[in-house]
Chain A
Amino acid sequence: MGNPNVGKSAIFSRLTGVDVLVSNYPGTTIEFKKGIIKLDEQLVEVIDVPGTYSLEATSRAEEVAVSMLKEGDLVINVVDATNLERNLYLTLQLLERNIPVILVLNFWDETRHLGIQVDAKKLETHLDTPVVPAVAVTGEGIKELVSRLSEARIHENKFDEEGRWIEIGKIIKEVQKVTLKKHTLLETLEDMSIKPLTGIPITLLILALVFWLVRFVGENLIIYLFDPLFEYYLPAVIGLSDTLGRGGIIHDVLVGTFIEGKIDYVQSMGLLTTGLYVPLAMVLPYVFAFYLMLGILEDSGYLPRLATLVDAILHRLGMHGLAIIPMLLGFGCNVPGALSTRILETKKQRFIAATLMAIAVPCMAQTAMVFALLGSYGIKGLGIYFVTLFIVWLTLGLLLNKILKGETPETFMEIPPYRIPYLGSLVKKLWMRMRSFLTEAIPFVLLGVFIVNILYVFGMIEWISEAAAPVIVGILGLPKEAVASLIIGFLRKDVAVGMLLPLGLDMGQLIVASVVLTMYFPCVATFVVLFKELGAMELIKATAIMLVSTLLVGGILNVLL
């Protein structure tokens, strides 16, 4: 346990070898995670919990941490050695809980640069329990921590709040010396990026750079790596197609149908063609590029500064600055985005954040396909798509904030120092995210492609498209066949966007269809998470908002474009 952003997950990961996401902003961990270590031939369970400043929880993530305390036999209290004074408050509270506590002084390396001298030995004597200096990202101190776990002591001090601060004052006087330090380059950058006059241009620059880099890296990976790979793979598919007699149900399910006499990776809709090409060669390169950039933003410590700069705007939408984190994560995948709404304090904030994200933030899988679809129209096509979603996000937020009852507490947030991202953790995080994309997205894509085939084989698509024609054709101005794409959109948005390609839509229709696919409903994976996070009633409300605003926005776009 420990304060937010002190490196609990990094220590946990070092101890147990279990992969967990580690970032440089308070609130990365929102749920507990279990791992096992071997101690003297005995298997011991270690639990990583979200950060909390005290044992009186103020958010849902903190509640998780405090409630886990009852389950433990020993507490490893991770402490930020550069902020000892305020970190010790939780330590003293823990020492009153009749449970053995051992202290880890993380960021030990940073104390030196900051001119802070902490006497770990003295602190140990004072608290009468082991204190281990450590650097979690490099693993320094972990061995000592493990070897001293058994020395952790139980205490039964009883302080009131006032008493704790007095005690902390005494301790700090004895164990900590602060010498004047020079202003470092990173600190100058810290000041520049949070002052509005320089911070806002820096933010715009960073966001533009991230957007451009994601496209640049994604596009080049496709052109120079994935497309050539699938060229090599083509003869194998053609061989299989010939073996299966170039037709029939099994052929169409596996290889797909011929488009102008040839296999078309995007349009054929076979499990072994479209089912592999869309997730691997169209989506994966962008997902990789996006998570690379996100990892750098997360680990540098930039996100809390971004949250501060956008706080005033988000406040008017019924949230506060930290809500930028679910939005950014949502651009990668809406599932972690929905989960991270837990860092917000009130129900109203969480509802607005989850709803706005589900409606107006397209995940990278979908964005990648929209790039492929609208990219050829240049800045105009993509511009209208993103600006429309942004206006929806803004308008809906303003409205929901007015309509919904409930409080919007103000921001109160720690801003961590800038840290140069540690390459090892960046690579590990990127790998974890890619792995979950590969294992969770690809089965759904295959299932989606399979269902498309089934629907066509049994002629169900025609039946549904007749029924939905008044809405699809009348309001949205799309051909009624587009309904197939909307059905598959429940499962996977990337496959759904791909299904628009054979319909021969013009730019206006493509934009309408892309916007509608983004807004009308979240994919099933997000839907399940939203159900867990919001509950049935709130989810029904959110869904109603989605459907109504989709028809409204789709209808307006249809008239305008």
Chain B
Amino acid sequence: MEITLFNLKSGEKATITRLEDGEAFRKKLASLNIRVGKTIRKITEQPLHGPVVIEIGNTEATIGMNMAKKIIVAPFGVISK
């Protein structure tokens, strides 16, 4: 099952499967090691269309809501094939 990072539940882990946007977006995310195949944990999201807070490796980061909607993930515990 694939959902967006935005729709992932707070506290859940997932694997990044796809990034829906061009080169620049991919490069920007890569600077914090947010890449396809990496495990990501959503810590929380802020109200009023605020940003999403994630943990990846040993890094925490804040990502704008619209960016989080373009990061496609497969949540853990769900076998996706």
Q: Is the CB of A86 within 8 A of B33?
A: yes
Judge whether B53 is part of the interface by a CB distance below 8 angstroms.
yes
Contact for A312 among B44, B49, B61, B67, CB less than 8 A: B49
Closest Cβ of chain B: how far from A318's Cβ, in Å? 14
Docked pose: A411 CA to B65 CA in angstroms: 9
Interface residues of A in 381-413 (CB under 8 A from B): 409-413
Docked pose: A54 CA to B63 CA in angstroms: 18
Contact pattern, B 55-73, Cβ under 8 Å of A = 1, otherwise 0: 0011111111111000000
Q: Is the CB of A304 within 8 A of B62?
A: yes
Contact pattern, A 302-345, Cβ under 8 Å of B = 1, otherwise 0: 00100111011101000011000000000000000000000000
Docked pose: A86 CA to B44 CA in angstroms: 23
Q: Is the CB of A414 within 8 A of B61?
A: yes
Docked pose: A176 CA to B45 CA in angstroms: 31
Q: Is the CB of A86 within 8 A of B62?
A: no
Interface residues of A in 279-308 (CB under 8 A from B): 304, 307-308
Contact pattern, A 83-110, Cβ under 8 Å of B = 1, otherwise 0: 1011001000000000000000000000
Judge whether B9 is part of the interface by a CB distance below 8 angstroms.
no
A320 surroundings in chain B (CB, below 8 A): 64
Docked pose: A416 CA to B55 CA in angstroms: 11
Which residue of chain B has its CB nearest to the CB of A416?
B60
Which residue of chain B has its CB nearest to the CB of A301?
B60
A89 surroundings in chain B (CB, below 8 A): 30-31
Docked pose: A86 CA to B31 CA in angstroms: 7
A83 surroundings in chain B (CB, below 8 A): 33, 57-59
Docked pose: A416 CA to B61 CA in angstroms: 8
A128 surroundings in chain B (CB, below 8 A): none
Q: Is the CB of A308 within 8 A of B59?
A: no
A410-B32 in contact given A86-B57, A114-B58, A194-B44 (Cβ < 8 Å): no
Judge whether B7 is part of the interface by a CB distance below 8 angstroms.
no
Q: Is the CB of B61 within 8 A of A195?
A: no
Interface residues of B in 32-51 (CB under 8 A from A): 32-33, 35, 43-44, 46-51
Contact for B46 among A311, A409, A417, CB less than 8 A: A311
| Number of chain A interface residues as a range | 35 or more
| Number of chain B interface residues as a range | 20 to 34
Closest Cβ of chain A: how far from B26's Cβ, in Å? 9
Judge whether A440 is part of the interface by a CB distance below 8 angstroms.
no
Docked pose: A415 CA to B43 CA in angstroms: 12
A54 surroundings in chain B (CB, below 8 A): 27, 31
B43 surroundings in chain A (CB, below 8 A): 191, 194-195
A414 surroundings in chain B (CB, below 8 A): 32, 59-61
Judge whether B28 is part of the interface by a CB distance below 8 angstroms.
yes
B46 surroundings in chain A (CB, below 8 A): 196, 308-309, 311-312
Docked pose: A83 CA to B31 CA in angstroms: 12
Contact for B64 among A56, A194, A412, CB less than 8 A: A412
Interface residue SS majority, chain A = helix
Closest Cβ of chain A: how far from B47's Cβ, in Å? 5
Judge whether A484 is part of the interface by a CB distance below 8 angstroms.
no
A82 surroundings in chain B (CB, below 8 A): 58
Q: Is the CB of B57 within 8 A of A413?
A: no
Closest Cβ of chain B: how far from A99's Cβ, in Å? 21
Q: Is the CB of A415 within 8 A of B61?
A: yes
Contact for A410 among B31, B33, B59, B63, CB less than 8 A: B63
Q: Is the CB of A308 within 8 A of B31?
A: no
Docked pose: A316 CA to B23 CA in angstroms: 27
Q: Is the CB of B53 within 8 A of A86?
A: no
Q: Is the CB of B64 within 8 A of A410?
A: yes
Judge whether A371 is part of the interface by a CB distance below 8 angstroms.
no
A196 surroundings in chain B (CB, below 8 A): 44, 46-47, 50
Q: Is the CB of B33 within 8 A of A411?
A: no
Judge whether A31 is part of the interface by a CB distance below 8 angstroms.
no
A86 surroundings in chain B (CB, below 8 A): 30-33, 57, 59
Q: Is the CB of A312 within 8 A of B51?
A: yes
B57 surroundings in chain A (CB, below 8 A): 83, 85-86
Judge whether A376 is part of the interface by a CB distance below 8 angstroms.
no
Q: Is the CB of A53 within 8 A of B35?
A: no
Contact pattern, B 8-25, Cβ under 8 Å of A = 1, otherwise 0: 001000000000000000
Contact for B33 among A85, A311, A321, A417, CB less than 8 A: A85
Docked pose: A308 CA to B64 CA in angstroms: 9
A85 surroundings in chain B (CB, below 8 A): 33, 57
Docked pose: A412 CA to B49 CA in angstroms: 15
Contact for A58 among B28, B32, B47, B66, CB less than 8 A: B28
Judge whether A116 is part of the interface by a CB distance below 8 angstroms.
yes
Which residue of chain A has its CB nearest to the CB of B65?
A410
A415 surroundings in chain B (CB, below 8 A): 53, 59-62
Q: Is the CB of B53 within 8 A of A194?
A: yes
A161 surroundings in chain B (CB, below 8 A): 27, 30
Q: Is the CB of A307 within 8 A of B33?
A: no
Docked pose: A332 CA to B4 CA in angstroms: 41
Docked pose: A315 CA to B57 CA in angstroms: 28
17 contacts between A and B (CB under 8 A): A56-B27, A83-B33, A85-B33, A165-B35, A194-B44, A196-B47, A307-B62, A308-B50, A309-B50, A311-B51, A312-B46, A315-B49, A411-B51, A413-B61, A414-B59, A414-B61, A415-B61
Give me 14 other A-B pairs in contact (C-beta within 8 A), A195-B43, A414-B59 excluded: A58-B28, A83-B58, A89-B31, A191-B43, A191-B44, A311-B51, A311-B62, A312-B48, A321-B62, A410-B63, A410-B66, A412-B63, A413-B62, A414-B61
- Chain B residues with a Cβ under 8 A of chain A: 10, 27-33, 35, 43-44, 46-51, 53, 57-67
- Chain A residues with a Cβ under 8 A of chain B: 53-54, 56, 58, 82-83, 85-86, 89, 114, 116, 161, 165, 190-191, 194-196, 304, 307-309, 311-313, 315, 320-321, 409-417
